[in-house]
Amino acid sequence: MTSRRGTLLHVEDRDVYCRNGCQFYGNPEWEGYCSKCYKEIRAKKQLKHSQSETRAPTDFLKFEEKKSRQKSNKTLKNLIKRANTIKENATFLNASSGPVLRDKKASDSLALLSDDLHKRLGFKQELCHEFVKVLNNTLEKMEVFFKKNESMESMSDMVQDAYQLIYDKAIQVTESISATEAVELCEDFLISHTYDVLFGVLSSEEETRDLGVLQRIRSLHWVRAHHLDVEIDDIHPTVKEFMDEASTQLIFIDSKRSPREKLYCVIEAARNIFKMLQAAPQSKSQGGADDFLPAMIYVVLRANPPRLHTNIKLVTLFSAQSRLRSGESGYMFTNLCGAVNFIENLTAAQLQMPPEEFESYVSGKAVPTEDTLTEGARMMYHNMAALKELNLRQNRLADATQQLKITLESLQKDIGDQVDGALKRSQKAASHHEYIVSADVDIRCVPQFMRKKITRIEGLPPIPVQPDLLSPDNAELPSPLIPEVLHDEPALRIEPKSAEGSDAPIAEADLAVTAGATELEAGAEEKTSLLQPMNS
């Protein structure tokens, strides 16, 4: 069928009509027959089948049937049984030995970590080995904790003690910044290595709260920025863009495997929130906490990030305290915690509305009437704004095009005029070209191409002909070297008489020189013409 579908672009008769040729339409579903023919053919096939069945010995068939049924039963049962054993095995594994944390992968990453500490932070090899030892010990202890099913808080204490130990070791040889960095590198390894187990336990502990927050945020879908005493213009495209980016970052938190990366997401989200607050042209926000915290709450409400409590708890319990106590990451994380806390404990009084009203909104019985912007409406506004903008640009473009057209037209006209003028002038000039020579000049002194155009005028001073050049003694001499003369150079130093008759007096000396040149040339031309057969 799929192959047929590929060729259906060119539908031929045999593709459309029944294969039996009964002039009804066929259908690939019915093997290319029409419904009537297909029914007949199927009935025939079934008849054949039943005939063969009846031919077979009945007791054997029954036996076969029973066997096959048994087989399927067995496999089903087996499946269930096998699943059970897997489950049992898994729980057994957990109960007896707990997860194995010190494996090949751990030792590999520890080697890398120690290398990193040595090369990047300049700790001595021995100290790096000590760090690795501490981390290995911690992993071992964590295995025990998991085995005994101890609380996450006690495990956190143990891990924090390990961080403190590493810090204390590091601070003896370096300053606090490097020591903090060392701790953070160790933390990065420890948590991302044990992430799956840790996160699994935490998420099962926090499941109810996670779901609770999820539900709560859903029920607060109607809360708008103005409820939270902040101005956010969701319709503005740039604002929306930053808000979407912030939401994305908040959602990303769940997918990151170490506190460092998770906190980085929080910071990124916060940065986008600040940008969002100040993106709208009429925004008065200075980026202070008065606006930032409500905006954070609003974005959390919009994004509804998954497993908030699990992630917050993981970061709180297992990240190096330097990250949380101080620095930008600590501040932003505190704000996220604050936002979650606020959302969970939100009351009608805080939003300054009657409790009944609040309840009816939360339970979904009512929806606030004012500015309930659904996603569709928001998109519409967004598109409308975009269209308006486009329209404006289009108009501007049209105006500019018109302007360009006018300019081009005038330019074309200008150029045309100029070209016309130039052409006319040159034509005039070309048709009236005359070379003025004195009447008594020897025609041989005039280049051939000029000879027809010369005008002889009486009274011009004679051109002194160099006697030696024309003397018969020189006839035998080879022709002198002559410069190449570009043909068709009317301005050949002989002043052309312009059509307008600007009869500037031709300078005597000038003419003399030119005459000499022409003379030379004429001689040369004759000589070269003589030489030509020899050359060829």
CB 121, min distance to other proteins, A: 16
Do the beta carbons of residue 310 and residue 202 sit within 8 Å? yes
**If we measure between CA atoms, which residue out of 247, 215, 204, 207 comes closest to residue 336?**
247
**Interaction pattern, residues 246-275, with other proteins; x per rule: CB under 8 A:** ------------------------xx--xx
Binding of other proteins by 289 (CB under 8 A): yes
Taking only Cα atoms into account, the Rg of the chain, rounded to an integer number of angstroms, comes to 50
Nearer of residues 163 and 361 to other proteins, judged by Cβ: 163
Looking at 6, 288, 459, 533, which residue binds other proteins (CB under 8 A)? 288
Length reported for the chain: 536
CB 140, min distance to other proteins, A: 22
- Tell me the one-letter amino acid at 477: L
State the DSSP string of 204-257: HHSHHHHHHHHHHHHHTTT--GGGGT----TTSHHHHHHHHHHHHHHHHGGG--
Looking at 138, 180, 249, 258, which residue binds other proteins (CB under 8 A)? 180
Q: What whole-number distance in Å separates Cα of residue 31 and Cα of residue 199? A: 55
Run of H or E residues at 390: helix 375-431
CA dihedral sign, ordered 445, 449, 451, 457: negative
Q: What whole-number distance in Å separates Cα of residue 111 and Cα of residue 217? A: 44
Binding of other proteins by 318 (CB under 8 A): no
Half-sphere exposure of 36 (CA within 13 A, CB side): 8
Strands 454-457 and 435-438, sheet pairing: parallel
Run of H or E residues at 457: strand 454-457
Residue 482 per-residue DSSP state: -
**Binding window for other proteins (CB under 8 A); candidates: 139-147, 343-351, 380-388, 518-526:** 343-351
Looking at 109, 136, 316, 498, which residue binds other proteins (CB under 8 A)? 316
Nearer of residues 37 and 317 to other proteins, judged by Cβ: 317
Residue with tokens 């879908």: 221
Looking at 73, 341, 394, 418, which residue binds other proteins (CB under 8 A)? 341
CB 297, min distance to other proteins, A: 9
Looking at 326, 374, 412, 466, which residue binds other proteins (CB under 8 A)? 326
Nearer of residues 193 and 309 to other proteins, judged by Cβ: 309
Total residues at interface with other proteins (CB under 8 A)? 52
Q: What whole-number distance in Å separates Cα of residue 68 and Cα of residue 300? A: 57
Binding of other proteins by 334 (CB under 8 A): yes
- 432-471 positions binding other proteins, by CB under 8 A: none
**Binding window for other proteins (CB under 8 A); candidates: 14-22, 245-253, 308-316, 504-512:** 308-316
Binding of other proteins by 114 (CB under 8 A): no
Half-sphere exposure of 21 (CA within 13 A, CB side): 0
Do the beta carbons of residue 281 and residue 226 sit within 8 Å? no
Binding of other proteins by 342 (CB under 8 A): yes
Q: What whole-number distance in Å separates Cα of residue 334 and Cα of residue 266? A: 10
Binding of other proteins by 306 (CB under 8 A): no
| Distance from the Cα of residue 488 to its chain's centroid | 62
- 391-430 positions binding other proteins, by CB under 8 A: none
Close Cβ partners of 332 (under 8 Å, ≥ 6 residues apart)? 263, 266, 267, 269, 270
CB 84, min distance to other proteins, A: 39
Number of H helices, E strands in the chain: 20, 2
- 120-179 positions binding other proteins, by CB under 8 A: 156-157, 160, 163-164, 167, 176-177, 179
Do the beta carbons of residue 325 and residue 259 sit within 8 Å? no
- 213-232 positions binding other proteins, by CB under 8 A: 228-229
Nearer of residues 353 and 524 to other proteins, judged by Cβ: 353
Looking at 20, 192, 238, 278, which residue binds other proteins (CB under 8 A)? 278
Nearer of residues 107 and 164 to other proteins, judged by Cβ: 164
Structural tokens at position 473? 């003694």
Nearer of residues 102 and 271 to other proteins, judged by Cβ: 271
Residue 30 per-residue DSSP state: G
Binding of other proteins by 350 (CB under 8 A): yes
Residue with tokens 């005008």: 455
Binding of other proteins by 68 (CB under 8 A): no
Nearer of residues 335 and 514 to other proteins, judged by Cβ: 335
Binding of other proteins by 38 (CB under 8 A): no
Binding of other proteins by 65 (CB under 8 A): no
Nearer of residues 188 and 519 to other proteins, judged by Cβ: 188
CB 260, min distance to other proteins, A: 15
Looking at 99, 287, 496, 516, which residue binds other proteins (CB under 8 A)? 287
State the DSSP string of 305-355: -TTHHHHHHHHHHHS-HHHHHSHHHHHHHHHHHHHHHHHHT--TTTTTS-H
CB 244, min distance to other proteins, A: 18
Nearer of residues 38 and 167 to other proteins, judged by Cβ: 167
CB 230, min distance to other proteins, A: 9
Do the beta carbons of residue 306 and residue 170 sit within 8 Å? no
**Binding window for other proteins (CB under 8 A); candidates: 192-200, 323-331, 392-400, 457-465:** 323-331
Phi, psi (degrees; rounded to nearest 5) at 474: -85, -10
**Which residues form the interface with other proteins (CB under 8 A)?**
156-157, 160, 163-164, 167, 176-177, 179-180, 183, 228-229, 270-271, 274-275, 278, 286-294, 309, 312-313, 316-317, 320-322, 324-328, 331-332, 334-335, 337-338, 340-342, 345, 350-351
